[in-house]
Amino acid sequence: MKIAILGSGGREHALAFALSKSKKLKKIYCIPGNAGTSEVAKNVNIDLNNFNKVYKFLANENIKFVVVGPEKPLVEGIVDYLEKFNIKVFGPNKLSSQLEGSKIFTKNLCQKYKIPTAKFGVFKKKREAIKFLKSSNYPIVIKADNLASGKGVYICKSKTQSEKAVEEIFNGKFGVAKNILIEEFLEGEEMSYFIISDGNTFKTFGTAQDHKRVGEQDTGKNTGGMGAYSPSRLINNKLENKILKKIIMPTLKGLSDMGTKYKGFLYAGLMIINDEPFLIEYNVRMGDPECQTIIPTLKTDLLKILFACANEKLKETKIEWINKMSLCVVLCSNGYPDSYQKDIKINNFDTIKLDSNNYLFHAGTKKIGNSVYSNGGRVLNFVSLSKNLLNARKKIHNNLKKLNWIKGFFRKDIAFKVIKK
């Protein structure tokens, strides 16, 4: 089977790496890919915003199965577009993808199906939002309604901070914002919860705890994710049953009532408060870096699972996991998440020890000749599997020391809530 993966980040490298091990595979293409995906797939430089060009390439190469990594093409309807040409696609359609594409869509669904979430208000005009903030209790959460690559969320501790957040969102910091969401601040501990669905059947697909803040001890600005560990320290059978019954199942029913089936990965960002789950937001794909953290613990052939989903045969597919914990640390360009340099050469890859427990996934990288250069804020993902998270972290830090990329930085405390020194 020939397949194409759409995307260029660490998530897509992790997916390509896992899919490349399948006996069912003939060839992988990655559109557009990165320096890492080029080791296991053929990179094809096509703009993912140009659906017609993507389709023409797939048709010319007779590729009949596509895996979509990032959220933007999903939200913009690439699944619907390609399925018109009888191409099987792993990923949710445009309507289902509004779970991530519009926070207000999701909040309204939560309201209708009594899914536990923070109380909220929707504002179309800047002056209305600022007027509301004058009588609000703090801290308060302010969100851009549209896609913002995980960065369009403000936790504001004062009226001054909140007014600045409203100004930035309505002034287009995260693209055109027609609406703004203001919601109550929920105080608890976050958890990432994943399922995989074929539209009729769903199965759980791991848990993780992401570290979104740029600084140690979860301080500083929000990022796309500085690292993660899996499974989450919070998960247990009782909590999982609550998540499924109160959040996942009502969501899938809501979409079904709208006349659509959810197919693909679904990522619930949760806040756990006194052993009760509350939905913060949905993502309609694997998380990044959670994907890089979870996928290496998968024992079952990933291509078999994804193809079964696309053909609505997930019920017949058994998913098995390696019984180890996983930890991921993201190496970032200096300056991230603000301005940073690109096109900086990265050396010493030959010094890094990789094996069945230690992995390196590329994110913001590109190849020029035989050399690798930085091409983004989040550059490399180091992953280690172990029975012990402290041991996993030590192995990663050892590899980072060997790489010795002085133009980058990383958080040294990933999984600090679990690893007690």
**pLDDT per position as a tens digit, 349-405:** 999 999 999 999 999 999 999 999 999 999 999 999 999 999 999 999 999 999 999
For residue 255, the model assigns a pLDDT of 98
Least confident of 118-127, 205-214, 304-313, 334-343: 118-127
Q: What is the mean pLDDT of residues 89-98?
A: 98
Whether 150 shows a pLDDT value over 70: the answer reads no
Beta bridge partners of 55: none
Please list, residue by residue across 84-118, b when 16 or more beta carbons sit within 10 angstroms of its beta carbon and e when fewer do. eeebbbbbbbbbbbbbbbbbbbbbebbeebebbbb
Give 114's DSSP letter: T
For residue 135, the model assigns a pLDDT of 78
Mean pLDDT of the chain: 95
Whether 27 shows a pLDDT value over 70: the answer reads yes
Identify whether the C-beta of residue 32 lies closer than 8 Å to the C-beta of residue 17.
no
For residue 222, the model assigns a pLDDT of 87
pLDDT tens column, 1-16:
999 999 999 999 999 9
Q: What is the largest CA-CA distance in the chain?
A: 61
Q: What percent of the chain lies above the pLDDT cut of 90?
A: 86
Q: What is the DSSP string of 52-101?
A: HHHHHHHHHTT--EEEE-SHHHHHTTHHHHHHTTT-EEES--TTTTHHHH
Taking the model in full, what pTM does it have? Answer: 0.93
Q: Mutual orientation of helices 103-112 and 249-257 as an angle, nearest 10°? A: 100
Tokens found for residue 197 = 């669905």
Whether 421 shows a pLDDT value over 70: the answer reads no
Whether 148 shows a pLDDT value over 70: the answer reads no
pLDDT band at 215 (very low <50, low <70, confident <90, very high): very high
Q: Which domains are assigned to the chain?
A: 2-91 (3.40.50.20), 125-178 (3.30.1490.20), 189-316 (3.30.470.20), 325-409 (3.90.600.10)
Unique residue bearing structure tokens 């309604």: 145
For residue 152, the model assigns a pLDDT of 75
Residue 163 to residues 107, 220, 233: CA-CA distances in angstroms?
22, 19, 36
For residue 307, the model assigns a pLDDT of 96
Most confident of 152-161, 204-213, 412-421: 204-213
For residue 358, the model assigns a pLDDT of 98
For residue 125, the model assigns a pLDDT of 86
For residue 172, the model assigns a pLDDT of 80
Q: What is the mean pLDDT of residues 237-248?
A: 98
Whether 420 shows a pLDDT value over 80: the answer reads no
For residue 218, the model assigns a pLDDT of 95
pLDDT tens column, 267-292:
999 999 999 999 999 999 999 999 99
